[in-house]
């Protein structure tokens, strides 16, 4: 719904020109007064609230300028991953924060807060507009996409069902609330990315957001910069490992590797040399930022999926070998230039990081064997670790009160076997949808399918050693199936169009030659 649409509706309510002018003047004064009061007293609020308030006014100004509220929602969703703006509404007594640590009470490394994010606000606004406009003539009905939506709904339903097994209902509620928000975001995207133009807009904005995040991470890497501004926090972890605004180095690596592959696909989509150069620059900067994370699984997943991307591109004939050669030379230069950093990360002592993961896996397997169908309850893995720990698992300090570093085992242990199957099906079917577009007659759809498929595969590999529970990476993980489902829909639409168009064109041609 645009600002002009809203204004036209108001004009129907206010009949006379004079009354309409008075109404518009009064509305403007009221909005200005409220904005001034909110900004004047926002200094008393937390930095997270100040960030949301400032962003809301920027968004309102953007709507007035662009005149398209739905496009604004898509743009903000695209940048919401690196922006990572949210606030805590409810905090669990188990939260690992300075207050609880000072008290000496038991704390958990888990999802211990109910948080409201920018995405939450966007979904409330987006669905409200969607419902209001649903009755409009010519409005297309909602698309369900059963192949990916049913597994997603199954995961949500089974997670809700597993709360009956949970020792702490509040922690289970936090996890379910996160899943519901993710599903609503996914379903909104698949129904609002209906054309190639809308997909291009979303991908371009998300690529720009990745470039900004990557540049920030490089600045952090060089200068050691850390900051908190309006609720946006940029962090470093250990010596020379950068997380940017993505909470931790693992999520940062997952985001950069996957979004970088999508950007890589755009190199062969843009028709102009300047656009190709910009895409190559963005890709190169994302690779440099990926190095700065120090994530071994991130590097390995990126290398494997880039190889898959190149093979598919060469076999389908979509990739020009000269451009590919330049790309590989650039990656080789980065690899040689930062050889010491990469080699040291793989060979130096990791202070038991790899060994501790094996201990976590043993403990998780104990939970799965004990409760294979509904698990220990959504969000309750860390809380349940002490109940299932035995000395044969390993060092207690490495596994107790900690989330297992494997996304698949987390879902399996918390919500049961069928929940895991739903999650794997959700991602796997989305990846198949993306790769099935490689042979599309539309070059943009084909390249986007290669990039999306490789991106989903990259995240699936990294889930074997990552928790994937913080908001930025969970959002991004659900973004990709939404894009893959919409892309598959566009491919099917293009095939239908070709089947309808071809006979009519052939009949015209035959009629012409007969004359």
* Beta-sheet pairing, 113-117 with 232-236: unpaired
Secondary structure (3-state) at 133: helix
φ/ψ (deg, to 5) at 332: -65, -40
Q: Among the residues of 135-237, which ranges form H helices?
A: 146-162, 169-192, 196-223
Q: Mean pLDDT lowest for which of 1-5, 71-75, 316-320, 412-416?
A: 1-5
Give, in degrees to the nearest 5, the angle at Cα 267 between 265 and 270. Answer: 110
DSSP 402: B
Q: What percent of the chain has pLDDT over 70?
A: 82
In 226-294, DSSP assigns E strands to: 227-229, 232-236, 242-244
Position 477 scores a pLDDT of 98
Given a cut of 70, is residue 11 above it in pLDDT? Answer: no
pLDDT value of residue 297? 95
Average pLDDT, the chain: 86
Instruction: Give the side-chain half-sphere CA count within 13 A for 318.
Output: 28
pLDDT tops 50 at residue 146 = yes
Which of 101 and 65 is assigned the larger pLDDT? 101
| pLDDT tens for each residue of 254-264 | 999 999 999 99
Task: Provide the residue count of the chain.
Answer: 515
Residue 246, classed as helix, strand or coil, is coil
Of 208-212, 365-369, 417-421, 511-515, give the lowest mean pLDDT range: 511-515
Helix, strand, coil in percent for the chain, rounding step 5: 75, 5, 20
pTM: 0.88
CB 168 within 8 A of CB 111: no
- With vertex at residue 300, the alpha carbon angle to CA 295 and CA 302, rounded to the nearest 5 degrees, is 95
- The reported pLDDT for the residue numbered 515 is 32
| Pairing verdict, β 113-117 and 86-91 | antiparallel
Angle at CA 103, nearest 5°, toward 101 and 109? Answer: 30
pLDDT at 505 exceeding the cut of 50: no
Task: Quote the CA–CA distance of 10 and 385 in Å, as a whole number.
Answer: 58
| Signed CA dihedral, 36, 40, 43, 45: sign only | negative
pLDDT, residue 504, reads 45
pLDDT at position 63 over 70? no
CA 320 to chain centre: 30
User: Which neighbouring-strand residues pair with 363?
Assistant: none
For the purposes of burial, counting CB atoms within 10 Å of the CB of 501, is it exposed (0-12), middle (13-18) or buried (19 or more)? exposed
Compute CA 53 distance to the chain's CA centroid, rounded to the nearest angstrom: 23
Q: Is the pLDDT of residue 100 over 60?
A: yes
Name the band, by pLDDT with cuts 50, 70 and 90, for residue 509. Answer: very low
Q: Which of 57-71, 76-90, 484-498 has the lowest mean pLDDT?
A: 57-71
In contact, 426 and 151? CB cutoff 8 Å? yes
Q: Residue 374 has which token pair?
A: 């509904």
Q: How far apart are CA 256 and CA 306, in angstroms?
A: 13
**Residue 325 tokens, joined:** 């050669």
Burial class (CB in 10 A: 0-12, 13-18, 19+), 116: middle
Q: What is the pLDDT of residue 508?
A: 38
Strand partners, 114: 90
Predicted local distance difference test score (pLDDT) of residue 72: 85
* Residue bearing the bigger pLDDT, 85 or 176: 176
State the pairing for strand pair 227-229/113-117: unpaired
Pick the more confident residue, 306 or 37: 306
């Amino acid at each position: 719904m645009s600002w002009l649409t809203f204004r036209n509706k108001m004009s129907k309510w206010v009949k006379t020109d004079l009354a309409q002018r008075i109404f518009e003047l009064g509305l403007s004064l009221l909005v200005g007064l409220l904005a001034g009061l909110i900004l004047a007293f926002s200094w008393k609020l937390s930095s997270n609230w100040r960030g949301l308030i400032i962003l809301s006014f920027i968004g309102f100004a953007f709507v007035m300028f662009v005149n398209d509220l739905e496009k604004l929602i898509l743009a903000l969703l695209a940048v919401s991953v690196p922006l990572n703006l949210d606030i805590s509404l409810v905090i669990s007594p188990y939260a690992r924060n300075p207050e609880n640590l000072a008290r000496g009470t038991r704390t958990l490394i888990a999802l211990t807060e109910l948080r409201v994010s920018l995405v939450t606000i966007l979904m409330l606004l987006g669905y409200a507009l969607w419902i209001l406009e649903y009755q409009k003539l010519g409005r297309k009905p909602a698309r369900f996409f059963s192949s990916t939506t049913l597994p997603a709904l199954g995961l949500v339903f089974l997670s809700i069902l597993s709360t009956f097994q949970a020792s702490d209902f509040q922690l289970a509620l936090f996890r379910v609330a996160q899943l519901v928000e993710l599903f609503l975001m996914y379903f909104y995207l698949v129904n609002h990315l209906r054309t190639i133009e809308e997909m291009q807009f979303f991908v371009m904005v998300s690529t720009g957001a990745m470039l900004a995040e990557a540049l920030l991470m490089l600045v952090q890497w060089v200068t050691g910069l850390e900051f908190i501004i309006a609720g946006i926090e940029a962090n470093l972890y250990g010596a020379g490992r950068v997380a940017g605004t993505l909470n931790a180095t693992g999520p940062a690596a997952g985001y950069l590797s996957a979004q970088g592959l999508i950007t890589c696909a755009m190199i062969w989509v843009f028709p102009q040399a300047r656009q190709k150069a910009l895409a190559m620059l963005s890709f190169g900067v994302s690779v440099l930022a990926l190095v700065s994370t120090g994530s071994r699984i991130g590097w390995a997943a990126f290398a494997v999926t880039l190889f898959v991307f190149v093979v598919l591109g060469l076999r389908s004939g979509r990739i020009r070998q000269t451009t590919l050669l330049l790309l590989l030379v650039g990656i080789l230069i980065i690899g040689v230039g930062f050889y010491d950093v990469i080699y040291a990360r793989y060979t130096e002592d990791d202070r038991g990081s790899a060994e501790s993961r094996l201990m976590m896996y043993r403990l998780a397997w104990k939970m799965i064997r004990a409760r294979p169908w509904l698990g220990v309850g959504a969000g309750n893995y860390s809380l349940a670790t002490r109940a299932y720990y035995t000395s044969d698992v390993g060092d207690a300090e490495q596994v107790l009160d900690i989330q297992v570093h494997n996304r698949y085992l987390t879902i399996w242990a918390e919500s049961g076997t069928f929940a895991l199957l739903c999650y794997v099906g959700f991602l796997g079917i989305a990846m198949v949808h993306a790769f099935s577009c490689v042979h599309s007659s539309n070059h943009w759809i084909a390249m986007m399918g290669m990039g999306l498929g490789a991106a989903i595969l990259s995240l699936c590999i990294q889930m074997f050693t990552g928790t994937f529970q913080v908001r930025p990476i969970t959002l991004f993980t659900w973004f990709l199936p939404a894009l893959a489902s919409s892309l598959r829909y566009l491919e099917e639409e293009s095939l239908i169009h070709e089947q309808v168009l071809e006979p009519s064109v052939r009949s015209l041609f035959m009629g012409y030659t007969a004359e």
